Structure 1
Amino acid sequence: MAALPEEDVGQDFKTNESSTINPAGLDPTQRKPRVLLAACGCHAARDFGLVCQSFVTWAEVRAVLTNDAWRFVNRSLVPPDGSVTLHLDSQQWLFWQKHGYGLHVELQKWADIMVIFPMSANTIAKMLGGLCDNLLTSIIRIWDYQKTLYSVPSLEPSMWNTTLTMKQIQSLRKLGSIVIIKTGEIPEPDAVSDVVRLHYLSNR
């Protein structure tokens, strides 16, 4: 069975950066892009703090963690300076009680970009099936695909080259998500951050 096609880091993402633009490639007179990061319950979520560290260098960041992801996350890696606001499933009902609508609505409106890194096989299936049984999948359910959603799957090696996985990856792309894959392993946070930043710059 053929391997899943890879989306090489940097592929098709180019930008012309002028000398008036800062090292992140962003105009300092304009607000930073708003990136909603999300983590699912899989082993790769242990390094989610490193993902946050990579994105806060150039973006305003909020993070959504499923209950299972929260069990894996190495919390000592999450930036301690308050630069990343964490949102958990338990906040959904509390927000509803206070405002009369769900936190998922607020976060979807706030975000310019969403990056699910890592994305578990379970959440891939939920997303394609339209399930919305937690904060993350509720955001996905109402996502506005005029804005960009990135999926960075993290699967066990035995799951990658199966017919079901291949069909699901193709379905994610047809739905409108950009899927970033490094076959056989999870991409480095800095590499994914660079892909998202350069894509954002090229589409401004």
Structure 2
Amino acid sequence: MADSSSSPPSKKPKVEEANGSDGAEQINPAVPSAPPTLPKVNRPAFGNKHIFKRSSNKFHLLIGVTGSVATIKLGEVISGFLAANPEKLVIKVIATKSSLHFFEPSELPVEVYIDEDEWSMWGNRGDPVLHIELRKWADAVLIAPMDANTLAKVAGGFADNLLTSVLRAWDFSKLAYFAPAMNTCMWEHPLTYQHMKTLKELLFFKEIPPMEKELICGDKGYGAMAAVPMIVSIVNADIRNKFAVYSS
């Protein structure tokens, strides 16, 4: 075994002069760091300067989407609403993390908010709280599709993401719609009945019932989200009422 005292001294790598004395990279405080680019949304996070503008002559509709494959129809839903109300409607979308598997936010003609925006917008006392600002901005909320998981969360009062936080803080003098979408066995589950009862009878949500068809998973039965024209027609009736001129 070699004598350790005869071994040559080890050489430490030379630290670049641009680094500090401890080798840590120095950051120039005069250069502000850019907001992080959000995954799946391909834009910087919304900050505390983000503006929520309301117009007295427009209807402000929030659309929430969840982790159901029916979220692939979001673009069709938005197009249907905008075609029916080309000058009277403004839409914002709230997307849960799992819903982002089913659509590309940058392809939509509306703003899409995700969970990370909630925390990027608020940093200090006096900064806007996103789920409260969205509730104030909206005239109505539509969750289409409402998957079984989000249905259970809302019925139980959970507020663990941006969408459920908006719904937990919702002002129920405003309209709230939901269009369930789930596997047939999930739809027929006894808990689904209880959750639906809570939303409709306690929280006064308006249900847009699912339809019967062969689902993408291959099962046949009820659970598919209502047809897009049906969803648009039901919500649009209340949008028209807001701008109706009644005369004797």
TM-score (norm 2): 0.64
Which residue, out of 192, 203, 211, partners 1:165? 192
The alpha carbon displacement at 1:157 in A equals: 1.2
**Pairwise mapping of residues 105-184 of structure 1 onto structure 2 (< 5 A)?**
105-174=132-201, 175-183=203-211, 184=222
**Per-residue deviation at 1:76?**
7.5
- Counterpart of 1:68 (choices 82, 98, 108) is 98
Q: Which has the larger radius of gyration?
A: 2
Q: Secondary structure at the match of 1:97?
A: coil
State the 1:74 CA deviation.
4.7
Cα gap change, 1:60 to 1:203, in 2 (>3 Å):
closer
1:190 partnered with 2:229: yes
Q: SS state of the match for residue 64, structure 1?
A: strand
Alpha carbons 1:44, 1:154 under 8 Å: kept: yes
The structural deviation recorded for 1:115 is: 0.3
Contact 1:49 1:74 in 2 (8 A): no
Once superposed, what is the RMSD of the aligned Cα atoms? 1.8
How far apart, CA to CA, are the structure 2 residues paired with 1:96 and 1:202?
A: 36
> Which one scores higher on RCO, CA 8 angstroms, separation ≥ 6?
1
Runs of 4+ in 1 over 6 A off after TM superposition: none
Percent identical pairs in the alignment equals 31
Distance in 2 between the 1:87 and 1:75 partners?
9
2:143·2:177 contact (CA, 8 Å) conserved in 1?
A: yes
1:102 aligned residue: 129
- The range that moved more, 54-63 or 106-115, is 54-63
Residue aligned with 2:226, SS: coil
C-alpha distance after superposition, 1:88-128 (max 9, x if no partner): 11111111127524210110000001000001111011101
Contact 1:48 1:74 in 2 (8 A): no
The correspondence of residues 5-44 of structure 1 with structure 2, limited to 5 A, is 31-44=57-70
Q: Which moved more, 1:92-101 or 1:171-180?
A: 92-101
Whole-Å separation in 2 of the counterparts to 1:191 and 1:77: 24
Aligned twin of 2:78: 52
Contact 2:105–2:112 at 8 Å: present in 1 too?
no
Q: How many residues align?
A: 171
User: What's the secondary structure of 2:122's corresponding residue?
Assistant: helix
Q: Deviations over 1:165-184 (max 9, x none)?
A: 12211111011100110332
